[in-house]
Amino acid sequence: MHAMRNLEIVWEDLMEAFESSDPELTYFLDRETGEVFSVPTDYDDDPFWEEVESQDERYLEIPCFDYSQERQLVHSFIQGVANEGLKAMLVRAFVGKQSHGRLSEILSFYPEELERFQAVREELITGRAGHWLEEHDIYPPERDF
């Protein structure tokens, strides 16, 4: 367990890591510098991976935004849609595998709902990032969670 510490982190970089669902990339946070960086999962550099592994207190792997979390988010959002016709379209789109893509296409015709969805998604991701940072005793000075 680390001592509680303030750490300057580029918030947009951290959010990009938490929003990523790319299985080809692994994101890390350097606890010493606050840098967020990504590495291809098939990066063929044994010394690099050995350093990351041996310094696991320094390099924290950032969890990605996975499919089940996205489906849960979309389901919650759909439940809050007041327009019954739109809700029915979204429910049908939700049944498919890539529900987020189709959801965005449908919501592009409903800008207020699209904005609400983006706000809900950002709130979820920001909350996850905040809890994750707190679990690792990291408190960026400019953020309150």
pLDDT digits (tens, 9 = 90+) for 58-90: 999 999 887 788 888 889 999 999 999 999 989
Model pTM score: 0.77
CB 128 within 8 A of CB 15: no
pLDDT-derived band at 7 (thresholds 50, 70, 90) equals confident
Segments making up each domain of the chain, as ranges: 11-65, 67-124
Average pLDDT over residues 113-134: 92
Task: Give residue 141's pLDDT.
Answer: 67
**Which residues lie below 8 Å from residue 21, measured CB to CB, with a gap of 6+?**
64, 65, 66, 67, 70
* Separation of alpha carbons 6 and 26, rounded Å: 24
Considering only 5-9, 61-65, 91-95, 97-101, which range has the smallest mean pLDDT? Answer: 97-101
Report residue 28: phi and psi, to 5°. -130, 155
Task: Give residue 113's pLDDT.
Answer: 96
